[in-house]
Amino acid sequence: MTKAVESTDIGPAGRRIDAGGIDTNYHEFGEGFPLILLHGSGAGVTGWENWHGVMHDLAKQYRVIVPDIVGFGLTSIPDGIELNIKIWVRHLIDLMDALNIQKAALVGNSFGGALALATSMRHGDRVERMVLMGTPAGDFVRADNAGSSWHYEPSLENMGKLLRHFPYDPSWVTEDMVRQRYETSLKTDSTLAYRKLFPEPSKTNEPKVIHGIPEERLDSIQTPVLVLHGREDKMVPVECGWRIASRCANADLHVFSKCGHWVQIERRTSFIKLTVDFLTSLQHQSVGKGAVL
């Protein structure tokens, strides 16, 4: 049952709901067909931090849900749960059930994109469409270990250094962004969750192979997909976007020049337009805020 805590623009704390036994933090805005925005990974990440710059624009046409997936943000890991992709998919489906959402469109950034793909593979009947940004797919090499949250030690200076690896232009990283993520990193499990996703970086800064969604599994996805990727993404190379677009049967790809890992921030206006245009062909019509015909 949802607690009466309203979402605001001032920070990551939103409403709370029991999703399959997990006390889940989330934000909700707007009415219409459900659109779930899935955050990335890393120290101090939250759904609000990833999406607050675009969620109100999208809520003009859709029922927008912005959760903190278990182990990230303000959704803590319950005792006895070992984090893995099956748990994350289960949490997302349980959240949809708790919010009376039978089918939704998923918008995923990085880890959120991988979660959207995995959910579509296992529960294709629950996913109408997907918009994926900076999403890992197949094996790739990431040599720049300075961008890793693996050994992050909480401080404003360390958070600033970490975040400036994400965009093409480091000036996108503001003092407010650094402070917000630093403060969140002091009270969340996100570093532990990150370590479940990525191997420990080499101490000699040697290239490290990262394993994304296996390429051959992408062949089974029939869900329509819009792939958005920054050409200069240092976290997840643009080749991963091409793999998704070339192997998913119903996928389109848009590559942004002079853009890093944060398409929704670095190319905000284009991201909103491309996403809304892609979703406008949805045939489902929402009834109220929960039931869908």
Catalytic residues: 110, 233, 261
CB 28 within 8 A of CB 58: no
SS3 277: helix
* Residue from 22, 212, 223 nearest 114 by CA: 212
Count the Cβ atoms, other than its own, within 10 Å of residue 128: 21
Give residue 275's identity as a one-letter amino acid code. T
Distance, CA of 44 to CA of 74 (rounded, Å): 9
Give the pair of three-digit tokens for residue 125.
């009947």
CB 262 within 8 A of CB 174: no
User: What DSSP letter does each residue of 216-246 carry, written as one string?
Assistant: HHHTT--S-EEEEEETT-SSS-HHHHHHHHH
User: CB within 8 A of 277, min separation 6: which ones?
Assistant: none
Distance, CA of 246 to CA of 225 (rounded, Å): 11
Radius of gyration of the chain (CA): 18
Q: Determine the Cα angle at 159 with ends 155 and 165, to 5°.
A: 155
User: CB within 8 A of 213, min separation 6: which ones?
Assistant: 114, 117, 118, 135, 136, 137, 138
